[in-house]
Structure 1
Amino acid sequence: MTTASPTTDTTGWATWHAAHEAARASEHGFLSVTSIRWLTTTPERFDDVPGAWFVDQDGPVVVLADDPAERLDVDGSLVTGTHRFGDLDSSPAPRVVWHRDDRDVVIEVARRGGSDLVRPRDPAAPVRLAYRGTPTYAPDDRFVVEARFRSFAEPRAVTVGSVVDGLEHVFAARGTLEFDLDGPRTLLAFNGQGDDLHVLFSDRTSTVTTSATRTLDVGAPDADGRTRVDFTRATNLPCAYTPHATCPLPPRENRLDVAIEAGERLPGPGAAD
């Protein structure tokens, strides 16, 4: 890693990135995902979750055998036999835990692109155990730019592709961010946490030194639409580490014709073998 420019808050940046790395490599972070199972109407058993899983007209269903090893905790309640999760579009995501041997496996039961899936997160996942961190560019003030947010009169539904063939994601776009970085640039900005904005983007470094898509949180604009885009905090999506992801691709508007040599780089050997 090269030396950062002298005015960059390297201590604050390092603290932020350490926290991001810790969350990524946590017991049930996305490095712990062991598979992604797309459910069909035919019951199937899998080697990393208990029970036979399928989907009916009401949503996902699991049928658990009469065996202490095939018990699930769903939203704090013990589940045995047949359990129906219902319509995932109209109810909060369930918290499903399988107490396996000496560890807890969290089983994500979710809906993506109109299909239901099961995705277990096991603390003993090989990708998580092998993880040694993600390389980054040194934080550099050149890639921290002042921006002006232009809000849409109403949020716009924007459909983007996915790393999974045939799968699409729909985001609510609130407006555009305008800034200068080796020329005038524009980014389509989605809803973030609270009043913050969220951005998916690619640039000239994508698939060369950085992952195909990176993500960035942008602070809430002030009353005049002013905010700051800090590319030194650009991070990788899960698909940079695991094939069991459904990551979105950036909208066409967010494919920047400039090299953003900032933020996280491609995971190297040992990051997620």
Structure 2
Amino acid sequence: MTTTNADNNAQFVQEWREWRAGWEQFLTAPFGWLAATALNWVDAEPRQYPSLPGLWWQEGKKLFVDPQGQTMSYEGESFTEVRGLDLSEAPDDVRITVGDLQVGVTYRDQYLVVTYDPQAPARNDFRGVPVYEPEPRFVLKGRFEPYEETKSVSLDSVETDSHVYDSPGIVRFSYGDEEYALSLTSSVNGMAAVFTDATSGVTTYGACRSLLIPEPDGDGTVVLDFNRALNLPCAFNYLPVCPVAPPENRLPFAIEAGEQTPYETSK
């Protein structure tokens, strides 16, 4: 039986819908992005921060926590006394459980702690994310060009200072008659590009959107499916720290694909 363009398009749309359903399920998880209720930078003074049980402070590269009589747990191990944790080499957003809450911890020379509460209004009132309809013309082929060694790149951040990220290389691709190059960052899910385009600040979130870059083929070929461009967590509630697209990732044309500005941001 011959496969038609209509069949291919129907399969493309169906796969996109299944992916969207999975992504929104992730967003609405009890301790997902929408559950974030407070963000605090920890300093050397033991403090009790709003919406965050216990006392928290930093000494060198260690984060100290005094549960003050509550039971906390990290990596399955419970503790009720003062605990010092060196999370300077840990992945971003490792979690400490405190009763019905979770605390996400990220190290940027200073410790950032984000409180996640399943009862957060943003999670309970969630009504989906506005998106463009899937469009095959925004599925583009690119070529991954790795650096000889991973580079450190500094990216400005929404509402705070710049931070350093690992960059494994760039990806080049063509759109229209022009060639473009996106600088990539490493993430727990592989490689990603944070970018803006002519829709940014108009129909999409102004700081950037993010596109996961799949594993390259043997010859370096990658598929850039902008229909799967996502908002970063700061687009929903301004709390988590998110990078701003670097100058080389600010595309001059409109990518009318992927997620648009969340309802929560556009109020």
Scaled by the length of structure 2, what TM-score is found? Answer: 0.88
* Equivalent residues in 2 for 1:102-251, closer than 5 Å: 104-112=100-108, 114-181=109-176, 183-191=178-186, 197-212=191-206, 213-251=208-246
SS in 1 for 2:37: coil
Structure 1: distance between partners of 2:43 and 2:219: 50
Shift of 1:132: 0.7
Structure 2: distance between partners of 1:237 and 1:244: 11
Q: Is the 8 A contact 1:209 1:266 kept in 2?
A: yes
Shift of 1:117: 2.0
Match of 1:41 among 44, 51, 69: 44
Match of 1:264 among 259, 262, 265: 259
My pick for the range that moved more, 223-232 or 237-246, is 223-232
Among all aligned residue pairs of Structure 1 and Structure 2, give the percentage whose two residues are the same amino acid.
Answer: 31
Aligned to 1:25: 28
1:182-238 Cα deviation digits (max 9, x unpaired): 6322222333567x5321110010011001201111222222222221111101000
SS in 1 for 2:262: coil
Aligned to 1:82: 82
Amino acid at match of 1:251: P
- Alignment of 1:14 onto 2:17: yes
- Alignment of 1:63 onto 2:66: yes
Structure 2: distance between partners of 1:155 and 1:65: 42
Q: Which segments of 5 or more consecutive residues in structure 2 lack a partner in the other structure?
A: none
Q: Is the 8 A contact 1:135 1:266 kept in 2?
A: yes
SS in 2 for 1:257: coil
Shift of 1:46: 2.6
Q: Is the 8 A contact 2:62 2:88 kept in 1?
A: no
Shift of 1:156: 2.5
Structure 2: distance between partners of 1:151 and 1:117: 30
Q: Is the 8 A contact 1:205 1:259 kept in 2?
A: yes
Q: Is the 8 A contact 1:241 1:272 kept in 2?
A: no
Structure 2: distance between partners of 1:131 and 1:260: 25
1:132-184 Cα deviation digits (max 9, x unpaired): 11010000111111222233333322211111322323222323322224632
- Alignment of 1:52 onto 2:46: no
**C-alpha RMSD of matched pairs (Å):** 2.3
Q: Is the 8 A contact 2:167 2:186 kept in 1?
A: yes
Amino acid at match of 1:84: G
My pick for the range that moved more, 179-188 or 114-123, is 179-188
Amino acid at match of 1:243: Y
Amino acid at match of 2:87: L
Structure 1: distance between partners of 2:187 and 2:61: 30
Q: Is the 8 A contact 2:169 2:184 kept in 1?
A: yes
Scaled by the length of structure 1, what TM-score is found? Answer: 0.86
- Shift in CA distance, 189/41, structure 1 to aligned 2, threshold 3 Å: closer
Structure 2: distance between partners of 1:238 and 1:12: 24
Amino acid at match of 1:19: G
Q: Is the 8 A contact 1:210 1:265 kept in 2?
A: yes
- Alignment of 1:72 onto 2:72: yes
1:73-129 Cα deviation digits (max 9, x unpaired): 2222221131212x2224567541112xxxx311112212x1112211110111111
- Shift in CA distance, 55/156, structure 1 to aligned 2, threshold 3 Å: closer
Higher relative contact order (CA 8 A, sep 6+): 1
Higher helix share: 2
How many residue pairs match? The answer is 258
